[in-house]
Structure formats: structure tokens, C-alpha cells
């Protein structure tokens, strides 16, 4: 076995950190810390949601494209039988084991997708305006307020938008597309 103890994980957007920090004005774009995440697939009608909510410390979202807080993370409903569950403080493999063992009695399963996405935070009164430069969905606070999330396209890249507040949105993007999204956000911010 190779000695992996000397390997430290780098943020996929480390090379863009300086460019994002150099942005002046509104909104501020920052890199969110990397979190553990699992993709949960389970039948929502089988009682699994109640069991998971009791064990994880918060209700799971009952409507598609909404999210709730659970413990030290978030539960985002991506589809009729699919959730993304994050945890800031649990190791990825432990998080996968825990959620998977909770879902298994209901015929569900969880898969570790921690390395799949990175998150950016757009914070400021013009955050929605900046996102709208590349997103076609209705981002007005009345239609996309706190508690909503949506998988859609930002430019050419699939992203997962999470509304935390009127002026605070998080954007999950696949690591391999994150450079494109960060560059496009920097360009769009410069043009404003």
C-alpha cells in the first residue's frame, strides 16, 4: 500500500481563489469548505424519511427542489427519490456508512459523492443578478427564496443552486466544471 498520509486534499478551485478574492463590490464570491456528501436513493413513501430525520437530527425535505438543515449539514432533495445529504464534521466514509445503514432497511442506499462537487458562496444584494447572467430559471426571491434549491445550468455547466437568504446563495458544481464556472462568474462580475 502506498503511504497516503502525506497527501493533503487541495480545493479544486485553489488556483481561482486569488481571482475570486480580488473581486471588489457586490456580490462577494467565496469558496465554501469541502464537506462530506452522500447521494441517497430511497422510496419516500416507505417511512424512510421519518427514520432518517430522527437519526440525523432534522426533517428531510418533502418537496422536490427544496432543502432543510440536518445536524451539521444540509439535506437537498434532487428528485422524487433522490437526496443529497451533506455533513461538515463527519468523515466521508463514515457519513456514507451511517446514512446507508439507516436507508438499507427501507430498500434504499447511499453512495459517497464527497469528491463530486465543490461549493461557491455568492453573498450580496446583487448575487441573484450575477447568477441570472448564466441561469435561466426564475431566481426572484419570491420564487426562489430560502429553502429552495434547483439543479439547472449555469452557462454550459450543470450546477445545484441553494438559496440560503435573499442575498446569500450557494452554488454546487462538479469539480471538473468548477474552473469554468468560477471564470465565468469572475468575467460576469467584471462586466457589471
Instruction: Considering the complex, state which of residue 68 and residue 152 has its C-beta at the smaller distance from other proteins.
Output: 152
**Selected range binding other proteins among 1-9, 39-47, 152-160, 168-176, rule: CB under 8 A:** 152-160
Q: Is residue 152 part of the contact set for other proteins (CB under 8 A)?
A: yes
Q: Is residue 30 part of the contact set for other proteins (CB under 8 A)?
A: no
Q: Is residue 79 part of the contact set for other proteins (CB under 8 A)?
A: yes
Q: Provide the minimum distance between the beta carbon of 123 and other proteins in the complex, in angstroms, as a whole number.
A: 25
Instruction: Considering the complex, state which of residue 105 and residue 158 has its C-beta at the smaller distance from other proteins.
Output: 158
Q: Is residue 161 part of the contact set for other proteins (CB under 8 A)?
A: no
Q: What is the DSSP string of the chain?
A: ----TT--PPPTTGGGHHHHHT--SSSEEEEPPP-EEEEEE--TTTTHHHHHHHHHTSPPP-STTBEEEETTEEEEEEETTEEEEEESSS-HHHHHHHHHHHHGGGT-EEEE-TTTEEEEEEESTTHHHHHHTT--S---TTTS-TTBEEEEEETTEEEEEEEEETTEEEEEEEHHHHHHHHHHHHHHHHH-
Which residues in the 46-65 window bind other proteins by CB under 8 A?
64-65
Q: Is residue 153 part of the contact set for other proteins (CB under 8 A)?
A: yes
Chain positions contacting other proteins, by CB under 8 A: 64-65, 78-80, 82, 136-137, 150-153, 158
Amino acid at each position: 500500500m502506498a503511504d497516503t498520509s502525506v497527501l493533503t486534499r487541495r480545493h479544486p478551485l485553489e488556483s481561482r481563489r486569488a481571482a475570486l478574492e480580488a473581486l471588489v463590490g457586490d456580490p462577494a464570491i467565496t469558496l465554501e469548505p469541502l464537506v462530506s456528501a452522500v447521494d441517497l436513493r430511497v422510496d419516500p413513501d416507505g417511512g424512510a424519511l421519518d427514520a432518517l430525520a430522527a437519526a440525523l437530527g432534522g426533517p428531510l425535505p418533502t418537496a422536490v427542489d427544496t432543502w432543510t438543515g440536518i445536524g451539521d449539514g444540509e439535506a437537498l432533495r434532487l428528485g422524487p427519490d433522490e437526496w443529497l445529504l451533506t455533513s461538515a464534521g463527519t468523515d466521508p466514509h463514515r457519513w456514507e456508512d451511517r446514512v446507508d445503514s439507516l436507508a438499507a432497511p427501507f430498500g434504499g442506499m447511499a453512495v459517497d459523492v464527497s469528491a463530486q462537487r465543490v461549493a461557491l458562496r455568492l453573498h450580496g444584494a446583487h448575487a441573484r443578478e450575477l447568477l441570472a447572467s448564466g441561469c435561466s430559471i426564475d431566481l426572484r426571491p419570491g420564487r426562489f427564496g430560502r429553502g429552495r434549491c434547483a439543479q439547472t445550468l449555469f452557462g454550459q455547466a450543470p450546477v445545484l443552486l441553494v438559496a440560503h437568504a435573499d442575498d446569500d446563495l450557494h452554488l454546487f458544481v462538479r469539480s471538473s466544471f468548477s474552473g469554468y464556472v468560477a471564470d465565468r462568474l469572475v468575467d460576469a462580475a467584471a462586466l457589471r
